[in-house]
Amino acid sequence: METESGARPGESAPEPAGRGPERELLAPALDAVRATGAAFLLRGDPGMGKTTLLDWAEERAGRAGLRVLRMAGAEAESALAFAALHQVLWPLLDTAHHLPDGQRHLLEAALGVRADETPAAVEVAGAALALLARAAARRPIVLLLDGLQWADPPSAAVFRFIGSRAAGLPLVVIGATRNEGRYAARGVGRPIDLEPLDDARAGDLLRALYPHLAEWARRRVLRAAGGNPLALRELPAELERAAPDRLAVVVDPETGELLGELPLGERLGALYEDRLRALPEDARHVLLRAALGGPAAPDAAARESAAPAAPAAAGGARTADDAPATIGARAAGTWRRIQDSGLAHVDPRTGRVRFHHPLVRAGLVHTASSAERRAAHRDLAEALPPDSPRRLAHLAAAAIGPDDGLAARLDAAARTTAERGAEAEAASVMARAAGLTADPECRAARLVAAAALAARGGRLRFADRLLAEAENEARPRTPSPAALYALAVAYVRLHLDGDPTPSLRGLPAVLDTAAPFRDAGQRAALLEPALFILVIVASHTGDDRARAALDRHVGQASELTVLCHQAWADPPHTAREVPARLRAAVASRPDGPADPLAARLLLWTAVAVDAVGDHAALWDRLSSRSTYVTQAFIELARAHDHFLHGRWEESLALARRGAAASAAHGYGYNEMMFLLHHGQVLAGRGDTAGLEAIARLLTPWAADRHLRLVTGRLLGLKALCALGHGRAAEAWHHVRSLTPPGGPLPRLPWIQLTLLDFAQAAVETGHRVEAQAHLRAVREAGIAAVSPHHAFLVAAAEALAAADDTAEERYTAAYALPGAEEWPFELARLHLAHGACLRRRSRRREAAARLTAAHAVFERLRAAPWAGQAARELAAAGGPGPEATGAERPTGEVRHPLSAQESRIAELAAEGLTNREIGARLRLSPRTVGAHLYKIFPKLGITTRGGMARALREGGASAQASASARATPAREVIPSLGKTL
């Protein structure tokens, strides 16, 4: 079979992960094929990457212009003479007329073209080599022989002949075979044994394939795969699809690993299936017991089977006393067949069964019937002490119907496991306990408990399935289980898809029921998590139900919960002392709180007062030892903090990685928030297309759930992006929708982040008086007292909105605030506005200093529209212009032969403003505006104001085309959103 590579020039071949050393052996031969040939034989167990290496070789050969001939062995054709050779030579048969008649007739007979008697392999081999040599002389050939263990014997003999003579031809032969069979010891060329990947390479491959796999699943996959690349690819998906009771029943106290059956799926289950089914029934029974016994458990059956048989009684007559000797002989024979199969052996030092590969163990379980598995589990349970955790595991696996006594023991084992911090593993144990529970209400309560454990352990989809089962059984009615049910549903729905409805409907009622919180343990398990969820929901939605419930019950909570509530409840009035109290709380826990909930409370408090960066060392320590849930929460906060502090590349990297991880784990809320943080950087850089791609998905999603924090922040980001491009009217529309001037200040999270946008948009659209009134209300409300960042934003907005006679004083006051330099983007905007103000007053040297500082920051942040504004103002102030400074033209900026002042006047005229209105905004006389317009019309090729907007648009068409190439494509911004939302 001839194949043509689809790779285009410059494309790289797909590389078989983990097989770098093997590629290094094959690559030189492929590269040198025009000078000399070579032959190799890849040998290894099923799933070791042989076919993947052949795929890589085919791609590399295709890019080098080599001809590729490929064979794929099939067991069904292994008895058909020359069937494998037919696949290889058929594409070349039309050139066989160049061969001598004798060789051509041999090939045609072997391949079924000529109805002659099938020739001998030794005769066909020379003719096949001659045909390959002639074809390779015109174009070097790479011959790929996959599945040689199933090649028919005549073809196999021909391939060996060709491989032995490849060195003298422009021909590379690469065969691949399993370790068993005739090719294991003798094959087509130099053998390359594909051993299981070592721990380091297996871990690297698993991280590359599943970068966001939970730690509990990672440990189990690595252990079960045993370095098999195919297993590393497929086992994580099988774990996700498996029924809970197939995953585990208890945790091994020695290793901390889950004890239970590992689901393989059909492909992995078939790797050793033929060899296992070929064993006698008694041999498979012995191996099944060993496979289910666990890696560290001695297997009595194996030791018995391996024991030497006693000699028979003299005279050949057998009695009852001879029975043990007879059994021993039978067992010894069974074990000899097992060892001959190569699937397992007994370690002579320990007497324990050692399988050829962990997948043999899993394959035994996979191929056994459920009745066989249960019987083996019962046998193993009877051989273990009553108090052994392994006995409990085997009993649970052997059980068919309800068994309340066993369920109670599993319940206790799950709680013990959870106390050790292994909630993800404990969830499977508790789920099995629920499956063995007879009473529907008790079963539902255990399902809820399992769901809560799964949620805390980061197994959100598993938790959702368990809650659905609990709902189908009978929703718990007694206080504690009912409260846990409401809490679990609230948590899962909020994180799964950002839905706050279960929290708003269920948690206030739970909190109003005093019974669940009579002791400290119940308060820690139910009250504190419920209050934290309500803090999150209240800050995102502003819903009065959440706020009222918090106000009623926060007095029962811990100090950290109270602090977090105060940070978000009504920041101007409740958060003034939060930064100092937060510093004290962090200082009292230098290594961070042991409780994940306490860590999240501290972090969410820091987010409220823009103080995440003040405690970076704490988050480092917490992240290194936390589960995915806490790590994701930390990375969300850090992505936002990086944006505020001008570390935009770091913010983007966290946002992209976090969105992908959230999609993999099923955390829709996290994914949405990471995308929102991604949008912040896009807005700052003026990437209108990228921001719109995010907004088109997030706006309806958040609006349906009444998540005002998201919809409000998106409006603010649209305003920021519009201001970067000089579209002040559009920005004013957005900020007025967010916070109407003249009305009461909304209790909206992150409202302080739009203060600069509000002030600038108002001033540039002629609403300076409204901006000043709004900022007076902001100052009186106490927003500046919340944190240093809040104080700087208020002062900077006041400077932008100040009248001419007080502007300099306001700018100076803003610069003087402690920590102003920590917020580089906002400080650069202040420098830009101040520089433009100074330039209008002809204070050019001072203006140039401010504008140069602004331009440098915008360039570093890659905020092209803002850098362009700074460069044009700098040129107007007598400094170097955009070309000299290297400023990139803003995305979507109009290209036309107008000066900065003329561009601004033209844009306002295109909006329909009169000369007097334009002059009021730009502080020019109407006569001066008219003089500028007199010069603008001929430059744009128009004669009336009506053509202004069209001329500006057409002038920017080429810029828009180039900007589209620079803008972030929607598919790159939101690669995974559809998977979760």
pLDDT value for 18: 65
Per-residue model confidence (pLDDT) at position 790: 94
Model confidence at 247: pLDDT above 50: no
Task: Give the residue carrying structure tokens 């972090």.
Answer: 603
Whether residue 266 is predicted with pLDDT greater than 70 in this model: the reply is yes
CA separation for the pair 46, 147 (Å, rounded) = 10
Question: From CA 280, how far away is CA 284, in angstroms rounded?
Answer: 6
Residue 954: the pLDDT is 59
Judged against a pLDDT cut of 90, whether residue 717 lies above it is answered with yes
Is the pLDDT at 508 greater than 70? The verdict is: yes
The answer to whether the beta carbons of residues 96 and 107 sit under 8 Å apart is: yes
Q: What are phi and psi of 547, to 5 degrees?
A: -65, -40
Query: If you average pLDDT over residues 665-686, what whole number do you get?
Result: 93
Task: List, as one string, the DSSP characters of 182-228.
Answer: TTTTS-SSEEEE-PPPPHHHHHHHHHHH-TT--HHHHHHHHHHHTT-
Least confident of 145-159, 204-218, 224-238, 433-447: 204-218
Paired sense of beta strands 344-346 and 67-72, if any: unpaired
Segment 965-980 shows an average pLDDT of 42
Residues of the chain with pLDDT > 90: what percent? 35
The conformation of residue 956, written as its DSSP 8-state character, comes to: T
pLDDT tier for residue 479 given thresholds of 50, 70 and 90: low
414 touches 258 (CB < 8 A): no
Residues 6+ apart with CB under 8 A from 84: 71, 73, 77, 145, 150, 151, 152, 155, 156, 159
User: Which residues make Cβ contacts (< 8 Å) with residue 300, sequence separation at least 6?
Assistant: 383
Name the pairing type of β-strands 190-193 and 38-43. Answer: parallel
Place of tokens 């916070």: 739
Residue 963 has pLDDT above 50, yes or no: no
- For residue 962, name the pLDDT band (cuts at 50, 70, 90): very low
Rounded Cα distance between 666 and 795, Å, is: 42
What contacts 819, CB < 8 A, 6 or more positions away? Answer: 788, 789, 792
Structure tokens at 158: 């021909």
Q: CA-CA distance, 75 to 786, in Å (whole number)?
A: 74
pLDDT averaged over every residue in the chain = 81
Dist. CA 453–CA 601, nearest whole Å: 19
* DSSP 8-class letter at 147: -
Winning range, highest mean pLDDT, from 145-159, 585-599, 681-695: 681-695
Q: Is the pLDDT of residue 705 over 90?
A: yes
- What is the pLDDT, as a whole number, of residue 555? 87
Both structure tokens of 745: 């200040």
- 90-123, pLDDT tens digit by residue? 888 888 778 888 888 888 888 888 777 888 888 8
Give the number of C-alpha atoms closer than 13 A to the C-alpha of residue 571, restricted to the C-beta side: 29
Q: Report H helices in 64-184.
A: 83-89, 101-110, 121-138, 153-164
Give kind and range of the element (H or E) at residue 322. Answer: none
Higher-scoring residue by pLDDT: 267, 861: 861
Lowest mean pLDDT among 568-577, 681-690, 854-863: 568-577
- Per-residue pLDDT at 826 exceeds 60: yes
Average pLDDT over every residue of 742-766: 86
Q: Which of 509-518, 529-538, 933-942 has the highest mean pLDDT?
A: 529-538
- Given a cut of 80, whether residue 17 has pLDDT beyond it is no
Question: Which segment of 683-697, 836-850, 924-938 scores lowest on mean pLDDT?
Answer: 924-938
pLDDT digits (tens, 9 = 90+) for 328-356: 455 667 777 887 888 888 777 766 778 88
User: Which band of pLDDT confidence, cut at 50, 70 and 90, is reported for residue 786?
Assistant: very high
pLDDT band, very low/low/confident/very high, at 900 (cuts 50, 70, 90): low
Average pLDDT over residues 438-453: 90
Determine the Cα–Cα distance for residues 59 and 220; give it in Å rounded to an integer: 33
> What percent of the chain clears pLDDT 70, i.e. is strictly above it?
83
Total number of residues shown for the chain: 981
Chain-centre distance for alpha carbon 509: 36
Question: Residue 880: what pLDDT?
Answer: 63
Higher-confidence position of 628 and 980: 628
Confidence of residue 309 (pLDDT cuts 50, 70, 90): very low
Buried b / exposed e along 539-552 (16+ C-beta atoms within 10 A): bbbbbebbbebbee
State how far the alpha carbon of 768 is from the alpha carbons of 674, 797, 870, in Å. Answer: 35, 11, 22
Average pLDDT over residues 467-481: 71
- Residue 655 confidence (pLDDT) above 90: yes
| Best-predicted range by mean pLDDT (745-754, 830-839, 881-890) | 830-839
d(CA 187, CA 149): 10
Give pLDDT tens digits for 387-424.
Answer: 887 788 888 888 888 999 999 999 998 888 888 877 88
- Does 136 score more than 80 pLDDT? yes
The structure tokens listed for 84 are 């494998």
Residue 639, pLDDT score: 95
Q: Which residues pair with 72 in a beta bridge?
A: 146
Tell me which of 48-52, 456-460, 521-525, 785-789 is least confident. Answer: 521-525
Angle formed by the axes of helices 900-910 and 948-955, to 10°?
A: 130
> Is the pTM for the entire model greater than 0.75?
no
Q: Is the pLDDT of residue 869 over 50?
A: yes
Which tops the pLDDT comparison, 731 or 284?
731
Q: How far apart are CA 666 and CA 158, in angstroms?
A: 53
* Residue 123 pLDDT: 86
